[in-house]
Amino acid sequence: MKTSKWLIVGFLLLLLLITGCRNEASKPKAMTSEQVFDSYMAAWQKGQYEDMYAMLSSDSQTRLSLELFVKRYSSIYEGIGMSQLHIERTTLPAPTKPTPAPEDKATYTYHASLMTIAGPIEFNYQAKLIKDNSTMYWKVDWNPSLIFPAMKDNDKVTVRTTKAMRGEIYDRNGEGLAINGSLIILGLAADRLGPDAEKTVQSVAQYLGLSTDEVNKKLKASWVKPGNFVPIGSTDGKGVMAFQGIEGVSFQQKKIRTYPLAEAAAHLTGYVQGINAEELAKLKDQGYGPDDQLGKAGLEQLFDKSLKGQDGVRIVIIDENGATRETLASKETVAGENVQTTIDSGLQRAIYEQYQGDAGSASALQPQSGEILALVSSPAYDPNLFVSGLSAEQWNKWNGDPNIPLLNRFTKLYSPGSIFKTVTAAVGLNAGVSSPDLVRNIQGLYWTKDASWGNYYVTRDRDVPNENLRDALVFSDNIFFAQEALAMGKDTFYNGAYKFGFGEPLPLPYPFPRSSLANQGIKSDIQLADSAYGQGEVQMSPLHVALSYTPIINQGNVVAPLLVKSASNPADTIWKRDVIRPEVAEIVRQDLVEAVRNPKGFAHGAYISGMNIAGKTGTAELKQKKGEDGLENGWFIEFDATLNQLLLTMMVEDVKKRGGSGYVVAKAKKVFLKYGKTTW
């Protein structure tokens, strides 16, 4: 019996011993202080803030909750745009008189480097580890200085931004096209309007063209607090005089982008507006922020990156009173670059005013240098309203206007009509198919090649039996040029005209569509005949029409268009060389002079005594088939064949029953009377 008891006791002791050994074996092996700190750094570098928190000492965790710890790291790093974080342990230099380190404390030096929106930040610092008495595990003795050495408990890291001044856009003479100005903002403080509050609101609303409901809605916005200046609308000096001294009314100056030419250059300059969420998502990595203005159209959009400049940024540690403790990184403000164009503001405005609301577009060119003097689209919008505040009423008015003022017409393609006959004449002469002495016998006002054309025919306005090239240009004879093209054949015609820059982008930064001679090649003699006088599928922008006339002035060379003055501009001003021979250019030039000088010529309305005006009219018919009634666009192009300083192209939509191309000639003449003798 006694033996059995001792056996049982022995067995139990053995079982306890085995179990104890197993439990001891299953315990995780305690890491060294060095291993703990290496793990902490690895988690830090990976942004594993919860894992970092688990390695903090109990005292550190008592002072800071997990939620606040994670929030502090993530908000700081997100706010400064942190990337490329790298943490590594470094070695302390050996002390002259080494002292033994306490067994429950350890110190490690580390080097941290990271990139931010203000540039790189680097520092060296020491982290302290302590051994937990209850678990005997090593833990990090955390404090805010581990994030940045200068940080203390209640400090914050903040980003201070200084907005860069946007570059300005000028014309050739330094006159502003898009400049930085200021605006007077009339504002109200709702709680300070006094006993006449209702009367004041009504007066302000009426003066600014608003309803009292709109004003009251602004005053009751959720962000408004007692004493707040609530901006109601922009005003001028008269508005200041009218409301100054009235209770609750005050004024502030606001920096704002302004467009001195307003509608006259709207589609050229474009406008800026605050960046929206979708745009910011695309551009955030390119230095754009939520408070930035973004070019939304025209030159403002085209040169936005260089105009924007670089905002100044400082990343600073501030104490609980808002005082700066230390600047961690900074990037200096760089003002945006100015853009000087070749545009002449006076000419731009003068051309726009001639349209008087008519739909159309124009270009003005210095035909020898290629400098673009004006690009006009009519009607237009006022870009200043996009910046100062565009009402829903005005937006709806623009969108509902049948003349589409928001449409940029000078970048659109149009059928050039008879203004294209000059190209056909030049191609025929250059190919040797035609000559100044060649006379074509044409009977009647209608002509068809043969029975293969069926009911299709070409018409003209003047019934003469015999016509040479000069008369055909002076009197704009469709039949003559249809026969010219057929005599050339489609290949000679197409290849000769193509040299003028068809099918290619215009060599300038502003986006223009490619002009076309035919959508998929010239398929028939009817299409060839129609193309000869600028119908068929021929499509050109007003600027390309102007460029196609420059070989007449430049001994057969097409000039390269130039819109921006820059040291990087190519020295060569030629885009297409030798598209026609110099003698061909001279023949056509003389014919265009005669088109204006001849009292019976279709372009004689442009004649100015004392000037050697050359020009060509054009009417483009917009209809689906012969015989039907359609719209007509009127064209006119002119230059002084002696001065060769200004090449003006104007197009007006829907000129039928308004004088046809003669309606456009009258507008162009007024421009030439003022600017035709100017040297550019």
CATH number at residue 305: 3.90.1310.10
7 found inside a domain: no
The whole-angstrom separation of Cα 44 and Cα 494 is 69
23 found inside a domain: no
Contact between 478 and 602 under an 8 Å Cβ cutoff? The reply is no
Residue 557 carries which side chain, given as an amino acid letter?
N
At 624, is the pLDDT very low, low, confident or very high (cuts 50, 70, 90)?
Answer: low
> Which residue matches tokens 């689209």?
377
pLDDT for 21: 46
pLDDT for 132: 85
The mean pLDDT value of the chain amounts to 92
pLDDT higher than threshold 60 for residue 64 = yes
Q: What is the pLDDT of residues 8-53, one digit of tens each?
A: 545 555 555 454 544 444 445 778 999 999 999 999 999 999 999 9
Mean pLDDT confidence for 409-429 = 97
pLDDT higher than threshold 90 for residue 289 = no
pLDDT, greater one: 3 or 584: 584
Cα–Cα nearest to 585, from 422, 467, 475, 470: 422
The whole-angstrom separation of Cα 418 and Cα 489 is 19
Same domain, yes or no, for 148 and 185? no
Same domain, yes or no, for 571 and 642? yes
16 found inside a domain: no
Q: Which residues pair with 113 in a beta bridge?
A: 86, 122
Same domain, yes or no, for 247 and 306? no
Per-residue three-class SS string for 415-480: CCHHHHHHHHHHHHHHHCCCCCCCEEECCCCEECCCHHHCCCCEECCCCCCEEEHHHHHHCCCHHH
Cα–Cα nearest to 394, from 403, 382, 377, 409: 382
pLDDT for 26: 47
406 found inside a domain: yes
Same domain, yes or no, for 56 and 149? yes
> Which residue matches tokens 């179990």?
19
pLDDT higher than threshold 50 for residue 200 = yes
User: Model's pTM, two decimal places?
Assistant: 0.83
10 found inside a domain: no
The whole-angstrom separation of Cα 552 and Cα 371 is 17
Tokens of 672: 């030439």
The whole-angstrom separation of Cα 416 and Cα 421 is 9
pLDDT higher than threshold 80 for residue 656 = yes
pLDDT higher than threshold 90 for residue 209 = no
Same domain, yes or no, for 279 and 323? yes
Same domain, yes or no, for 165 and 239? no
Angle between the 421-431 and 542-553 helix axes, to the nearest 10 degrees?
40
Same domain, yes or no, for 186 and 237? yes
| Domain of residue 448, CATH code | 3.40.710.10
Kindly tell me the burial class for residue 184, based on how many C-beta atoms sit within 10 Å of its own C-beta (0-12, 13-18, 19 or more). Answer: middle
Same domain, yes or no, for 238 and 385? no
59 found inside a domain: yes
| Domain of residue 113, CATH code | 3.10.450.100
Kindly tell me the burial class for residue 557, based on how many C-beta atoms sit within 10 Å of its own C-beta (0-12, 13-18, 19 or more). Answer: buried
Mean pLDDT confidence for 170-175 = 97
pLDDT for 23: 47
Within 10 A of 455 (CB to CB), how many other CB atoms are there?
8
Same domain, yes or no, for 296 and 393? no
> Which residue matches tokens 């009417």?
619
Same domain, yes or no, for 513 and 547? yes
> Which residue matches tokens 């004689």?
604
Q: What is the pLDDT of residues 340-352, one digit of tens each?
A: 999 999 999 999 9
Cα–Cα nearest to 302, from 273, 271, 279, 348: 271
- Among 325, 341, 357, where does a domain finish? 341
pLDDT higher than threshold 90 for residue 627 = no
Mean pLDDT confidence for 404-409 = 97
Which of 345, 418, 548, 661 is catalytic? The answer is 418
Number of domains in the chain: 4
Residue 320 carries which side chain, given as an amino acid letter?
E
The whole-angstrom separation of Cα 31 and Cα 321 is 42
Q: What is the pLDDT of residues 452-505, one digit of tens each?
A: 999 999 999 999 999 999 999 999 999 999 999 999 999 999 999 999 999 999
pLDDT for 411: 97
12 found inside a domain: no
Mean pLDDT confidence for 259-271 = 97
- Among 230, 257, 284, where does a domain finish? 257
20 found inside a domain: no
pLDDT for 28: 52
pLDDT for 14: 53
Kindly give, in sequence order, each residue whose CB lies less than 8 Å from that of residue 223, ignoring residues fewer than 6 positions away: none
Q: Where are the beta strands (DSSP E) in 490-605?
A: 558-559, 564-565, 574-576
Same domain, yes or no, for 447 and 567? yes
pLDDT for 6: 47
Phi, psi of 277 (to 5 degrees): -60, -40
Q: What is the pLDDT of residues 90-118, one digit of tens each?
A: 986 655 565 666 889 999 999 999 999 99
pLDDT for 24: 46
What percent of the chain lies above the pLDDT cut of 70? Answer: 94
Q: Which domain holds residue 162?
A: 157-175+260-341
- Among 205, 234, 257, where does a domain finish? 257
**Omega before residue 379 within 30° of 0, cis:** yes
At 626, is the pLDDT very low, low, confident or very high (cuts 50, 70, 90)?
Answer: low
pLDDT, greater one: 254 or 478: 478
Same domain, yes or no, for 137 and 201? no
**Known catalytic residue: 418?**
yes
Mean pLDDT confidence for 380-408 = 91
